[in-house]
Amino acid sequence: MWGQQQAWNGAGAGADNWGNDEQLWNAISEAVAAIIHLEKELDSTKVEKKIRDYFNKAAKQMTFHAHRSLPELIDEYADNAFSSLFCGLGERDWLYSGQADLLLVVDAGVKANFPPQLVAQVNQAEFEQLVLASHDRAFEEQRYFPILTTAVQAAVQGPKIRKRVYNSAEQGRKEAASGMGVACGSGDPSLEKIEDFASRWIDRTICVLAEGLGGDPEGTLDMASACSFFHQMMEAGALPLALTQECGPPPPRWPIVDMAVQQAYTTYTQEWIDTKGKAAKVAAPAAAMGGPPQAWPSVFGKGKGPYAAAVAGPYAAVGKGAGMFKGAW
């Protein structure tokens, strides 16, 4: 049950449940039961089988050896599982909207497929924290990638340019989630959190783009196109669900987008005169490449703070679809 700590007898997280495929089935059945009324094509048995296949096959090509850390392996497993899930069932609104709560499915999938000795030294609370972080990050990234792909295709032409813009926006979003970047805001308290994240994301994207282009981001994405690019993503739901569920979605033609884009282009594009008297552009100095990190530990997830656990562990803090972001994931 959600909010209840798994039995742990000191031999590692949920030691009695390792290799227990029945636990995975039960977790999937519970998750599907909560959303099956929203499914328009398949019955519950077929949905359960698909999800079970995705989460079992996610570990098939993984390499388990001593020099790979448990967080790294759980991240890889979650990425594999959610990538397959979104490829196979990605058109479902209940998946993209976060109504399917799959946290315990990831938990049970790891326990069913990982060698038990890998987690023998991890207690239950530590294991839950790892699974919670990997689940939230992997889900959010898979939910967001199609939005980014569509926006990139509309903003620029040519495979090399599209790849550069895509990679810059992807990296910029990850860096914003870790607190990097320069923020700006309108002063509206109700929009403070989403403005902070969105402006940091824009800032880091243009920074990464400029670094790869010798200080000339407009050589690939001009300022007007950048504004349209980010407006399209914000309006399509590219901000983390955790933020929009807490603060609400951003307004149409959100002014903070234009403000942040203009600020970023001003910061990361510099002109100088070379020895021949010809104007050229160089990257902004390293000191301008973003402000000090600000903690965003729960920007992708349901937990508050650094997944601070109560007595019953991190899962208890989020509950079964309860807590700060009720109905998320």
Report the run of H or E that residue 173 belongs to, with start and end.
Answer: helix 159-177
Report how far residue 234's alpha carbon sits from residue 132's, in angstroms, rounded to the nearest whole number: 25
Which two structure tokens, joined as six digits, stand for 127? 């294991």
| Res 279: pLDDT | 45
Which two structure tokens, joined as six digits, stand for 183? 């923020």
Is 42 a residue whose pLDDT tops 70?
Answer: yes
Give the structural domain span for 100.
15-142+300-318
pTM (2 d.p.): 0.75
Quick count: other Cβ atoms within 10 Å of Cβ 64?
Answer: 12
Same domain assignment for residues 259 and 192: yes
pLDDT bin (cut points 50, 70, 90) of residue 172 is very high
Domain total in the chain:
2
DSSP letter (8 states) at residue 16: G
Is 155 a residue whose pLDDT tops 60?
Answer: yes
Is 124 a residue whose pLDDT tops 50?
Answer: yes
| Res 5: pLDDT | 34
Q: Which of 213, 197, 43, 73 is nearest to 138 (CA)?
A: 73
Same domain assignment for residues 85 and 138: yes
Asked, for residue 219, whether it belongs to a domain, the answer is: yes
Asked, for residue 98, whether it belongs to a domain, the answer is: yes
Same domain assignment for residues 22 and 136: yes
Same domain assignment for residues 210 and 99: no
Same domain assignment for residues 245 and 304: no
Is 288 a residue whose pLDDT tops 60?
Answer: no
Asked, for residue 176, whether it belongs to a domain, the answer is: yes
Q: What is the mean pLDDT of residues 181-204?
A: 94
Same domain assignment for residues 269 and 221: yes
For residues 134 and 77, the answer to whether their CB atoms sit within 8 Å is yes
Q: How much is the mean pLDDT over the chain?
A: 81
Same domain assignment for residues 165 and 283: yes
pLDDT bin (cut points 50, 70, 90) of residue 121 is confident
| Res 10: pLDDT | 35
Same domain assignment for residues 283 and 304: no
For residues 225 and 189, the answer to whether their CB atoms sit within 8 Å is no
Same domain assignment for residues 190 and 278: yes
Which two structure tokens, joined as six digits, stand for 95? 């998946």
Same domain assignment for residues 194 and 281: yes
Proportion of the chain in helix, strand, coil states, percent, rounded to 5 = 60, 5, 35
For residues 13 and 126, the answer to whether their CB atoms sit within 8 Å is yes
Is 225 a residue whose pLDDT tops 70?
Answer: yes
Q: What percentage of the chain reaches a pLDDT higher than 70?
A: 76
Asked, for residue 53, whether it belongs to a domain, the answer is: yes
Is 307 a residue whose pLDDT tops 50?
Answer: no
Asked, for residue 324, whether it belongs to a domain, the answer is: no
> Using one digit for the tens of pLDDT, what is the confidence trace for 205-214?
999 999 988 8
Same domain assignment for residues 165 and 121: no
Asked, for residue 294, whether it belongs to a domain, the answer is: no
Task: Give the Å distances, CA to CA, from 126 to 5, 22, 140, 308.
Answer: 12, 23, 22, 11
Asked, for residue 10, whether it belongs to a domain, the answer is: no
Termini Cα distance of the chain: 16
Asked, for residue 152, whether it belongs to a domain, the answer is: no
Same domain assignment for residues 115 and 52: yes
Q: Tokens 């972001």 appear where? A: 325
